[in-house]
């Protein structure tokens, strides 16, 4: 188990399902992969962009690095955009809003009727667990398990979880008050996995309404968020102005909804 602080722990994952054999080996694995049990490796929540940008290392077979940290097993959530059945695998093109990644579910060549094979439809949200792979300089995920997302909150939760781990690894833990107020937290300006986190740069071009709402939420520091009516009352803005500011801040990934669609908190405020 890997701990990222702040009460978040990355748990080990013992997968069953797709063999992730690759090539024409079906469910079998060979060499160092066969000697490396799945349940001895930690699992990390990621976005499609992180998978696409992952750096492949050459010191260890099948090893990738995200945020400068070795990672093999990942989990992500997205919408199925395309399904391509093949003789040895089913390829799903999955979009999570940050990019599109292929998840390959390898079929057991010894079982013509694989009872565990996932059955999904296009435009359906799914969660994938699997290993990072690369073929022809293009990253994909060899899926161990795929299942449908039945609660839309899981999508938002996953993005927040992936964001937390990303920030911990790139900024050394939860952001400080100085970083949340506009500093870069010692992270590179382009270190984002799906949005720009350089708040100072954003605030220089943001509207007056968005700046006012951002500064208010930054000062309130509420984990549960603040309702738009309270924001309007305390900032002197109209409800329409708060809605416009919220739309701008949501579009730039600076805030997120918490208790309901009218309650907001800073994305880096957890």
Q: Are 128 and 103 in contact (CB under 8 A)?
A: yes
Strand arrangement, sheet containing 55-56: 55-56, 64-66, 69-71
- Distance CA(206)–CA(189), nearest Å, equals 17
Residue 94 confidence (pLDDT) above 90:
yes
pTM of the model: 0.53
Domain ranges, ordered by start, for the chain: 2-148, 175-269
- In the prediction, which pLDDT does 4 show? 56
pLDDT digits (tens, 9 = 90+) for 141-169: 999 889 999 888 899 999 999 998 888 88
**How sure is the predictor about 2, in pLDDT bands with cuts at 50, 70 and 90?**
low
**Which one-letter DSSP state was computed for residue 246?**
H
Residue 179 confidence (pLDDT) above 60:
no
- Distance CA(140)–CA(130), nearest Å, equals 10
Whether 2-148 shares its CATH topology with 175-269 is answered no
- Distance CA(75)–CA(155), nearest Å, equals 12
Helix, strand or coil, per DSSP, at residue 97: coil
CATH class of the domain at 2-148 = mainly beta
- Distance CA(67)–CA(76), nearest Å, equals 16
pLDDT digits (tens, 9 = 90+) for 98-135: 899 999 998 876 655 555 566 899 999 999 998 888 77
- In the prediction, which pLDDT does 229 show? 93
Residue 35 confidence (pLDDT) above 60:
no
- The CA-to-CA distance between both ends of the chain, in Å, stands at 22
Phi-psi region of 26 (alpha: psi -120 to 50; beta: other; left: phi over 0): left
- In the prediction, which pLDDT does 136 show? 67
Q: Which CATH architecture has domain 175-269?
A: Orthogonal Bundle (1.10)
Residue matched to tokens 């919220």: 246
**How sure is the predictor about 268, in pLDDT bands with cuts at 50, 70 and 90?**
low
Q: What is the DSSP string of 103-158?
A: EEEE--TT-SS-TT-----TT-EEEEEEEEEEETTEEEEEEEEEEE---THHHHHH
Q: Are 147 and 126 in contact (CB under 8 A)?
A: yes
Q: What percent of the chain has pLDDT over 90?
A: 25
């Amino acid at each position: 188990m890997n701990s990222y602080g702040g009460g978040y722990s990355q748990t080990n994952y013992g997968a069953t399902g797709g063999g992730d054999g690759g090539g024409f080996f079906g469910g079998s694995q060979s060499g160092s992969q066969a000697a490396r049990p799945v349940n001895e490796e930690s699992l990390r929540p990621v976005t499609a962009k992180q998978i696409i940008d992952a750096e492949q290392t050459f010191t260890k077979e099948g090893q990738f690095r995200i945020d400068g940290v070795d990672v093999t097993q990942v989990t992500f959530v997205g919408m199925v955009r395309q399904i391509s059945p093949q003789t040895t695998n089913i390829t799903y093109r999955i979009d999570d809003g940050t990019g599109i990644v292929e998840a390959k579910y390898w079929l057991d060549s010894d079982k013509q009727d694989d009872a565990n094979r996932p059955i999904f439809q296009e435009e359906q949200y799914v969660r994938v667990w699997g290993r990072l792979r690369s073929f022809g300089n293009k990253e994909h995920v060899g899926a161990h398990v795929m299942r449908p997302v039945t609660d839309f909150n899981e999508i938002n939760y996953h993005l927040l979880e992936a964001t937390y781990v990303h920030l911990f690894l790139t900024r050394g833990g939860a952001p400080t008050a100085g970083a949340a107020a506009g500093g870069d937290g010692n992270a590179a300006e382009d270190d984002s996995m799906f949005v720009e986190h350089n708040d100072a740069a954003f605030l220089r071009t943001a509207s007056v309404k968005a700046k006012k709402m951002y500064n208010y939420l930054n000062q309130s520091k509420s984990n549960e968020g603040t309702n738009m009516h309270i924001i309007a009352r305390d900032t002197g803005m109209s409800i329409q102005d708060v809605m416009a500011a919220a739309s701008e801040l949501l579009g730039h990934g600076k805030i997120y909804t918490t208790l309901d669609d009218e309650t907001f908190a800073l994305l880096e405020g957890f």
